[in-house]
Structure 1
């Protein structure tokens, strides 16, 4: 006999709710996600979601950070070029998939709800801060000039992909990862 929705606990509950939240973000956009819909899709009670996440914005943030960590992990290949090319390749692969494209578009487009906008901003700030570690490691290894701004570098690379997805709506060029990394590396290498 299967468990009732109220009996779903721990890791299973988290996975079911995160999966349902991500599916909702992809299908209706981040501004239209409602806890009641997520609970129904996940087969859990709304109270279980509120008990664990407290608020919808915290649930949205957790789901988005989980998805990005899973789909676009921060590489540590031992070289700046390797890390940047892997990061860009994973980001491009994610952005080319229909669910990734929907996710990126759903977390970029502005929303009238200030709480959702704050969640969106917090997600991008946290994700960007994590990715800056790639540049900080490059600085520590002497592959990057010590004066280079890690945030500007990662905004340049990631922003390029996001601009293609959200504004240009074009297929991403096949050599984009390598060409973008080459362009940036020329600008941030020690002189």
Structure 2
């Protein structure tokens, strides 16, 4: 085997490992210092990799933040599929509330509402929400397929109503999200999207 082929294989192997190391280091940095104090140099040092590797792969800090936060949110707040739209929404909202009250979850919300005119921050924030809303809307679309949800129901509006409620608690009220809130919120939203029972 040539040295070139051996080197290529090493680089590919490092690719997956590099991403895992850097994303973990990014989340740790967010937890320790806050989302406004994440720098490539600090993340690279914590991950034990060259700073140039971060520039090559992510280009900008907002892109790195989006990747790290989406990856962690996907793991922490999975999209449930119990066979019941109402139950899926209750679980999703409850898990979102739990995650939003962790250091990383609070940092995520801080990133998505921080006032910053920088185009890269705005782009990163928009990318995060478009991807996350699209994933959560699967719950509503599956319900339409099962005949539980009205065909014309606005999936994005329903998800935003539930998620926005959690965010208001964290960003404006500054209080712990009550345990009963997810179930109560879904009870309020669900009748507006459910397919009416035949008379």
Conserved 8 A contact 2:35-2:107: no
TM-score, length basis structure 1: 0.88
In structure 1, the gaps of 5 or more residues are 1-6
Alpha-carbon deviation of 1:23? 2.5
Query: Within 2, Cα distance between the matches of 1:66 and 1:28?
Result: 19
In structure 2, the gaps of 5 or more residues are 1-10
> Which region of structure 1 is more displaced relative to structure 2, 23-32 or 158-167?
23-32
Matched residue, 2:59: 54
Conserved 8 A contact 1:30-1:107: no
Partner deviation per Cα, 1:3-61 (whole Å, 9 max, x = no partner): xxxx9923332121001212333444444422111111111101121232233332222
Q: Identify the match of residue 152 of structure 1 among 157, 163, 180.
A: 157
Matched residue, 1:173: 178
Moved over 4 A (4+): none
Secondary structure at the counterpart of residue 180 of structure 1: helix
Partner deviation per Cα, 1:84-134 (whole Å, 9 max, x = no partner): 111011101101223322332233222232211211111111111111111
Alpha-carbon deviation of 1:73? 0.8
Matched residue, 1:66: 71
Secondary structure at the counterpart of residue 113 of structure 2: coil
Q: Identify the match of residue 126 of structure 2 among 121, 124, 128.
A: 121
Q: How many residues align?
A: 185
Q: 1:101 to 1:56 in 2, by over 3 A?
A: closer
TM-score, length basis structure 2: 0.85
